[in-house]
Every structure is written in C-alpha cells, then in structure tokens.
Chains A and B, each alone.
Chain A
Amino acid sequence: MMKFPSAKKMTLIAGAVVAINGFFPALWILFTSLKTESELMRLPITIWPAAPTLGNYTRVFVDQPIFLFMWNSFVVAVLSTLLCVTVSALAAYALVRLRIPAPNVILSVLLAVAMFPLISLMVPLFSVMRDLQLLNTWWALIFPYAVLSMPVCTLVLISFFQDIPRDLENAAMIDGCSRIGALWHVVIPLTAPGVFTAGILAFVNAWDEFLLALTLAPRVASRTLPVGITLYQGEFSFPWPIISAALIIAIVPICIIIAVFQERVVGGLTSGGVKG
C-alpha cells in the first residue's frame, strides 16, 4: 500500500510550493546578478554562482545613472502618495460622515472617472503636459499617479472611517471641539493605520508604473527605475548580469516595504479590492 505523507508534511509542502512560486524568479535574477560574464556564457548553465562577485553591481552604478533613476522614482512616488492620500482622505471623510447629497452616486462617479483606461489617457496627457511644458518633469507623473491610486485609497479609507464610532466625534464636539478640531484630534489619530495602508498601496503603484513614465518622462535624466532599466543602452546586446543587478537594486525597496508591512498590505488590498 502507498504511504501518504502526514498532514503536517502536506501542509509544509503546500507552503513551500507557494513560497517557491513567488520567490523563485527574483532568486534566479539574484543568482544571475552574482555571476561573472564568463560564467554566464558557459553551457550548460550553472545554478549557483561559482565565484560570487559584486562586480555587476558596481558596473550598474558606473554605466548607468541608477541613483538618479532611483531618486526620480522616490520623489515621484512619495509626492504622488502624499497628494493621493490627502485628497482621498478628505473625500472619503466627506462621503462617510458629512450629510452630502447622494454619496453613493458621487463615489461611483469618482471611481469611474479615476479608472479611465490609462492607455487611452496617455495620448491626451502627453499633449497636455507638452503644452504645459511639464514633459520630463516629476510633475508630469505626480498628478496622474495620484489619480491612479485614488480608487483603492478612497475605498480603503472609507472602510476605515466607517469603523470609527460617530459617538467619539460627537463627544469631542460637545466638549467644545469644532468639526475640523474633532477631525484633527479624534478621527485622524484613529485612522492613522488606514491612512498608512492607503499610503503603502499608493507608493507601490507609483514605484511600479511604466507606461506613463515611458511616455511622459522619457529623457534619460528624468527616467524612473522601470523605464531606466528597461531602456538600458548596452554597447552590443542586452547585458543580462548588469540588468539583473539593476533589477535587484530596484526591487529591494519594495521588498522591504512588503516585508515590514505585509499584514497591512494584504488587509488593504483585500478590503480595497474586494469591496470595489
């Protein structure tokens, strides 16, 4: 008779399959980035780097302005996140708490407009940004990215605002706080986790975006990481070890973010996503 592995072992195998599926491509790129060019040309290919080297990483910094790409990515992601979260939080609060007419209709309109297909929007955005002379500036990306994350941020923040008991705010107002004062002293501290979750999602969205970055900021000095690495100009061909090193450098920041805030990210994605 065939012996089945125990339930405990099965659980372990299931977990390993999920983890390997997720990590393997990034690990393979990490191994590639540690190999020398000559090892990479050898056939059959090796799995582990025979003589691990950091040479490809120094080449990345020497050959390409990768610090500049990273700085562009960072500034654009941070500023668009701040803009998006501020605007979304104000809107979400108004929709949940203040007696405005037809909040559901307003929310639907907001979501429908913000979810206009990016590829259709790219064409006129190029003309508009060109007329405003904003092409190849951070602003060409900051404003569109704030809109890009507006749906998910608004939905996440609405679900957080709904969980705050109205009585708390009323109590603060009876104690002499104004509506804005109650918002500042009572509601904001309580929604800090929600604001933070929305901020992480907006940051990752902005860090990852490619199409608009390619279209609106194509000049080398204004490229973000995804564009800078994809349009890598090699002398002859696509230099895989160096590209791999650049990829690793580019994904380390998001890896840290998702590792530190994993529960928050999962919660935000599923509440914002599933409730859409």
Chain B
Amino acid sequence: MTAKLSSLERSERRLGIALLAPAFALLAGVVLYPIFTLIRTSFSENKLTEPWLAKPWIGFENYAKAMGDERLWEATWHTLLYVIVTVPGAVALGLGLALLANQPFRVKWPVRLGLLLPWALPLVFAGLIFRWFFEYQQGLVNNALIWIGLSPVNWLTQEGPAFFAICVAIIWKTSSFAALVLLAGLQTIPKSLYEAAEVDGASKWQQFWEITLPMLKPAIIVALIFRTITAIQTFDIPKAMTDGGPGNATETLAMYIHKTTIDSLDFGYGSTLAVLMFIASAILTSIYLRHTRRDPSAGRH
C-alpha cells in the first residue's frame, strides 16, 4: 500500500516538473541566457560601429569608465529625482482617488472606468498627451495660465519646468494603479470600526488617521513597492515628452542606456551600464522587500 502511494507521489512529482518545464525554458531563453551574455559583454569592447575589432576582453575598463562618466551620474540623479517625486506623488494621488471612489455609487462604471483608463493607456501615449497639454502655444496649460492672467511658460525646453511637466504626467498615469490597489484595501476595512468610532465621538479626520491609514498600511506599502520598481526604469514618458532634453537635463538611466547601446551601438559600455543599473535596482528593491517582510500582513490583503 505504502509503496503504491509513493509511486503515485513520484508520478505526480514527475508531472509537476514536466508542467513547470515550459515556464523555466522560456525564462532560460528570454532572461537567463541574455543575462549571461550581458555580463560577458560588459567586460569587453564591443562596438557595432567598429565590427572589424574582435570584441577584445578588457576586464573592468568599462566599469572604471562608468565611475568617471559624468553623464551617467547625472542620469542616475535624474532617475532618483523621478523616484523621490513620483513614487509618493502617485501613491498620495492614488489614495485621494481611492477615498473618493470608495462610496456607495448607484452607477459604478464611470468611476471604475475613470480609474482603469489611465492604467490601460500605454505610458508613451500618456507622455504624448501631456506633451500636447504642455505645448507652448496651443497647449491647454499655457492657455489656462493666460486665461487667469499669468504669462505662459516654455515648459518642455527649460530644465525645471520640463522636469515638473514630466512628473505631472508620470503621477497622473501611475496613480490609477495605486488607486485600484488602495481601493481594494479600503473595501476590506470593516464598517463596524467606523461605527464604533462614531459612537465614541471621533471626528471624520480622527477616523481617517486612527482607522483608515493604519488598516491601509499593507496596501500602501504594496503600492509604494510596485511604483518604485517601475519608477527606477522610467523611460517612456520622458522619451515621449522631451527625449531627455533640453540637453540631457531630463535624461534617465534607462534613456542613457538605450542611447548608448541602440543609438551609438556601443554594446560593451551599454552592457556595463545595464549591469550597474540592475545591481542598483536590486539593492533598492531588496531594501523595500526587507522592510515589508517585517510586517507579516503586508503583501496579503
């Protein structure tokens, strides 16, 4: 009997491994093998513009070059600025939208679609739409400024205003996913908590700080993590709005890597930048994950 059971178990295990195999084969082909070539290339000189070179192994030369590459540090700084501004910005706007959306509406679809549409819109389209909003002459923003009696701003051709405009676009586009996650979190808070607080005479404001925010903490942390992971890779929206300009003032790490490899065809150095970018994002993500793991309820709703 026991022998039969274990043979059943063994066949089940074999089936399990067979069912997992396609997923891991796909990951091996699309992620693991490319990572292997990425690391190898990062130690070589490999320029597609100079195909006669034999892609010589140059050790850590590319990495040494990166340390002194001013444009890399600027791009890193810009990326960090986008993270610092748009992560809390998107989650805060998302929280506001979620609180507004968490009402007993009789007709639910306008609100639900209002939250879903920005999520479903391609990032690069959001970038194009906001580029149109911030256009100097025909843009909605400058026309509104003129209408209330202010002077128009050259949004996309000056460093500060361009950064601001890009952040507005990113926050608008990414807040809707945060809002959906936070709304799901809001709907799990038991009504009885608010009823009890009402009986005790707590104001709406107190209820928000004492009940809503603490109960929502796990969902807020999930939203922050997701937003951070995507913010580190910011590419589409600045690409569509300024293409990194004026000069390199709004260029992100992702854009610099793309320009180095695809536009300048310097694969050796581009690979080094990609490895450095992966290490940096892995460190940031793991700090975040460690932070959430301390709270056992985080990540589960």
A-side residues, CB < 8 A to B, are 11, 14-15, 17-23, 25-26, 28-29, 32, 40-41, 43-45, 83, 86-88, 90-91, 93-95, 98-101, 106, 110, 113-128, 143-144, 146-147, 150, 154, 179, 204, 207-211, 214-215, 225-226, 229-230, 240, 243-244, 247, 250-251, 254-255, 257-259, 262-263, 265-266, 269-270, 273-276
Contacts and interface: CB of A to CB of B under 8 A. Distances in A.
A40 B23 contact: no
A276 B222 contact: yes
A11 B112 contact: no
Given A23-B117, A211-B235, 10 more contacts: A18-B115, A19-B111, A32-B132, A41-B138, A98-B13, A100-B17, A127-B37, A179-B12, A274-B181, A276-B226
Contacts of A121: 30-31, 34-35, 38
B143 A45 contact: yes
B23 A110 contact: yes
B128 A230 contact: yes
Interface string B209-244: 000000000010010001001001101100110000
Nearest to B278: A120
Contacts of A90: 19-20, 22-23
B27 A128 contact: no
B95 interface: no
B120 A255 contact: yes
B26 A143 contact: yes
A70 to B, nearest CB: 13
A231 to B, nearest CB: 10
B125 interface: yes
Contacts of A125: 30, 34
Contacts of B9: 99
B278 to A, nearest CB: 4
Interface residues of B, number: 94
Given A113-B27, A120-B38, A99 B257 contact: no
Contacts of B80: none
Nearest to A17: B100
Given A117-B277, A117-B278, A120-B277, A29 B114 contact: no
Interface stretch (B59-67, B81-89, B102-110): B102-110
Given A123-B274, A211-B236, A91 B23 contact: yes
A15 B240 CA distance: 31
Contacts of A258: 113, 116-117, 120
Contacts of A26: 117, 121, 129
8 contacts: A14-B100, A25-B172, A125-B34, A210-B236, A211-B236, A229-B128, A266-B180, A273-B177
B16 A98 contact: yes
Contact of B222 (A23, A106, A244, A273): A273
A273 B20 contact: no
B163 interface: no
Contacts of A215: 258, 262
B228 to A, nearest CB: 12
A241 B148 CA distance: 26
A118 B180 CA distance: 24
Interface in B93-150: 97, 100-101, 103-105, 109-126, 128-130, 132-133, 135, 137-138, 140, 143, 146-147
Majority secondary structure of chain B interface residues (helix, strand, loop or mixed): helix
Contacts of B27: 110, 113-114, 147, 150
Given A14-B103, A120-B278, A147-B27, A25 B129 contact: yes
Contact of A274 (B254, B275, B299): B299
A214 B183 CA distance: 34
Contact of B112 (A44, A83, A262): A262
B103 A123 contact: no
Contacts of B181: 269-270, 273-274
B32 interface: yes
B43 interface: no
Given A15-B101, A120-B275, A124-B271, A88 B114 contact: no
B270 A21 contact: no
Contacts of A254: 120-121
B257 A262 contact: no
A41 B137 CA distance: 9
Contacts of B172: 21, 25
Given A94-B16, A247-B125, A275 B299 contact: yes
A207 B122 contact: yes
A123 B113 contact: no
Contacts of A117: 232-233, 277-278, 281
A125 B261 CA distance: 11
